[in-house]
Amino acid sequence: MPVRVLDAPDLMDDFYLNLVSWGSTGVLAVALGPSIYLWDADTGGIIELTTLEGETDYITSVAWIQQGGTHLAVGTDSGKTQLWDARALKQVCTTSLCMLLFSCCANRI
């Protein structure tokens, strides 16, 4: 069985952060500092999905939306929640309130 090693510089050492998420399509999302990277287990390819703009802002959480497996929810230290279409590499929406996330993004998924 092949073994893979995840080289993760800038992975924040904080118990309360959720910085790694394995998707149902075999893609691993990893937040390293202000950036999110996607690693495809089938091809071994790595793509940088996004890097946050603010100097002090960092990613606090990443989680795949399980239905369909191509959308990634991202939480930031500034209190914003972003929804990304990982297949198209495009941000679908961003909000600072969880309830707005579902209303602004529900018809875009």
Q: What is the pLDDT along the chain (109 residues), one digit of tens a residue?
A: 667 776 777 778 888 899 999 999 999 999 998 999 999 999 999 999 999 987 788 999 999 987 767 999 999 988 888 999 999 999 998 887 555 545 555 555 5
CA torsion sign for 65, 96, 9, 44 is positive
Assigned domain for 7 exists: no
Q: Where are the beta strands (DSSP E) in 1-109?
A: 20-22, 27-32, 35-40, 46-51, 59-64, 71-76, 81-85, 90-95
pLDDT the model gives residue 8: 75
Assigned domain for 76 exists: yes
Assigned domain for 73 exists: yes
Q: Which domain covers residue 72, as residue numbers? A: 20-105
Assigned domain for 27 exists: yes
pTM of the model: 0.80
Assigned domain for 92 exists: yes
Count of domains observed in the chain: 1
Assigned domain for 8 exists: no
